[in-house]
Amino acid sequence: MSLSSRVKVPMPEAGIITRRSGAYQYVYKVLKTYRNTNGQPNNDRVSIGRRDVESGMLIPNDNYWKFYNSSTVELLPSYDSVRSIGATFLIQTILEKTGSKAILDNVFGSERAAMIKTVVAYMVCRGNVMEHILDWCETSTLHETVTDDRQASALSASITYDEKMDFFRQWSAAHTEDSYLAYDVTSFSSYAKGVQDTEWGYNRDGDSLPQINLGCYFGYESRLPLFYVTYPGSIVDKSHMSYMMANNDELGIKGVTFVMDKGFCSTANIRYMHSRRMSYLIGVEVRHKATLGAINSVRDNILSMEKRISHGVYADYAHGFFYGEQTNMHIYFDPVLAESHRSDLYRTVEVQEEKLNQLHQITKQEAKRHRAFFDIDLAEDGTFTFERSYERIDEAAKNSGFFCLLTSMRLSGAEALDIYRRKDVIEKGFDELKNHIEMKRLRTHNTRTTDGKLFCAFIALIVVSHINCKLESLMKEKSLSKNSIITEMEKIKVVFTTGGKRLMNPITKTQRNILEAFGLSEEDLRFYISS
């Protein structure tokens, strides 16, 4: 007989016996007593439940109700009466403190916004797979809207383009302190055939799968994502930049400097930004003809103490006609990077030489490929001789250690380099999106659900990025990862009792440090529990 595990009743005063089995004391009602053929006392009995050690009361099974009609039944805590609420408390507080909660409520209404916030909290704690969201809601939330995977999918499909743009307009308006925006692109692979923008293209993760591209702005001061768009996976980054920036007027983004890597540098893009008087700082390809000219103009004098800026890097400057416009180029030389590049190059030469030594014949195509570093004498029958071309090897190594930045601004070499290096905020954000929030695979089956799920992931990225910002020093000091932060907060549990709700244990020193980093205390946690 199964225990009626959600209730407890007073223990019957007479006519029962208890027997221990393992960790439990089972209670039996005695139906009849007698002596057996050997004269020893015996009885007929039936199990009526299990003794609750903490209260001394009976947790009844189905048999109990056949013999007793108890009028004093007390509900036990239900299966989800102990909940791990620390992480959801922190996430909901972050949504409120960053202002994203108010904007979600304004755009989507309180009911749908509440569901989005539940999905976001789940993504931060458990990742992208929605299959177990209901179980998580029943064990790890307190005031949040309980949602299952079907409701989460329907929610994603209901989020419209206009609603997303409305959110982005209000979100961008709330972050006008960002004078620099990092722009970059990442991609998400998918097995689904019903997602419109999934196409074959350059896959950054090395997956042999079609993908969808996502371009994103990240703020330098806020260190938060501000806006994103998705587009087909076959389109190269530099081709889409102007389409991304066409949204700036609608979003009210102006007076900022866009910081980008060399993948976006093209004559069309530089001319586009100049035509709209946009400020930019962008990496450039060293092999570009105009860039090589700038490097050659400073090569002989760059290794001077006067040119040394920081961390052993030397910098010079050139103003000229680059990528179709009169603009400014900063030229840098890093001796350590130069030696690293040369070592890689020489190792490549050695590997190719080992391969050639093992071959007796090669094709004309193979010979052409190896002539980058070797003089090859190829006979008609495919046999060959070869030797290193030190002239070509030295030419390939000539520009090792050089890198250049193009900008429309008046910046010193040190200022430009510092600003450019700080754009790793967006690279870290993409890493969180793919690995912590687990969006490396879309795990959706149609375009509408994909669009909505990516929006929820964007809101989750706001939360994770804010955690990074506030807890960076603590995580370094204590060697804590993002997952360990979430796990530590999930140790904060609330128990439901007949008298109400209460914390199971005092918070730990690490939990207190985490809360204090967000301007929170144990009193805030208690207020959240009791509200």
List CB contacts of 358: < 8 A, sequence separation 6 or more: none
Alpha-helix runs per DSSP H in 479-521: 482-490, 509-517
- Pairing label, strands 180-189, 211-219: antiparallel
Alpha-helix runs per DSSP H in 257-363: 267-275, 289-298, 335-358
Is 272 among the domain residues?
A: no
- For 191-249, the pLDDT digits (tens) are 877 788 788 888 777 788 889 999 999 999 999 999 999 999 899 999 999 999 999 99
Do 102 and 232 reside in the same domain of the chain?
Answer: yes
Is 174 among the domain residues?
A: yes
Do 219 and 341 reside in the same domain of the chain?
Answer: no
CA distance 434 to 188: 8
Is 432 among the domain residues?
A: yes
**Closest CA relative to residue 141, chosen from 79, 86, 78, 77:** 86
Is 279 among the domain residues?
A: no
Tell me the HSE value of 183 on the side-chain side, using a 13 A CA sphere: 28
Do 479 and 523 reside in the same domain of the chain?
Answer: no
- Pairing label, strands 225-232, 211-219: antiparallel
Do 451 and 514 reside in the same domain of the chain?
Answer: no
Do 178 and 229 reside in the same domain of the chain?
Answer: yes
C-alpha distance from residue 85 to each of 137, 491, 517 (Å): 10, 8, 18
Give the three-class secondary structure for 60.
strand
Q: How many domains does the chain have?
A: 4
Owner of token pair 């900008």: 407
**Closest CA relative to residue 103, chosen from 182, 172, 178:** 172
Integer Rg of the chain from CA:
33
**Closest CA relative to residue 437, chosen from 411, 464, 415:** 464
Do 104 and 231 reside in the same domain of the chain?
Answer: yes
Do 96 and 67 reside in the same domain of the chain?
Answer: no
Range of the domain at 120: 85-252+423-492
Do 353 and 470 reside in the same domain of the chain?
Answer: no
pLDDT of residue 138: 86
- For 334-349, letters b (16+ CB in 10 Å) and e give beebeeebbeebeeeb
Owner of token pair 């007479």: 14
Do 151 and 217 reside in the same domain of the chain?
Answer: yes
CA distance 132 to 122: 9
Is 179 among the domain residues?
A: yes
**Closest CA relative to residue 419, chosen from 175, 256, 276:** 256
Q: Which helix (H) or strand (E) holds 171?
A: helix 161-173
Q: Which helix (H) or strand (E) holds 140?
A: helix 133-140
pLDDT of residue 485: 95
Structure tokens at 258: 């866009």
- For 90-105, letters b (16+ CB in 10 Å) and e give bbbbbbeebebbebbb
Do 195 and 150 reside in the same domain of the chain?
Answer: yes
pTM of this prediction?
Answer: 0.80
Is 410 among the domain residues?
A: no
- Residues of the chain below pLDDT 50: 1-2, 4, 74-80
pLDDT of residue 78: 45
375 exposed, middle or buried (CB, 10 Å; 0-12, 13-18, 19+)? middle
Of the candidates 76, 99, 130, which is a domain's last residue?
76
C-beta contacts of 386-394 below 8 A and 24+ residues apart: 386/356, 388/349, 388/353, 393/345, 393/346, 393/349
Q: Which helix (H) or strand (E) holds 471?
A: helix 447-478
Angle of helix 86-97 relative to helix 447-478, nearest 10 degrees, comes to 100
Is 292 among the domain residues?
A: no
pLDDT of residue 126: 93
Do 102 and 215 reside in the same domain of the chain?
Answer: yes
Of the candidates 24, 51, 76, which is a domain's last residue?
76
Do 370 and 465 reside in the same domain of the chain?
Answer: no
Is 1 among the domain residues?
A: no
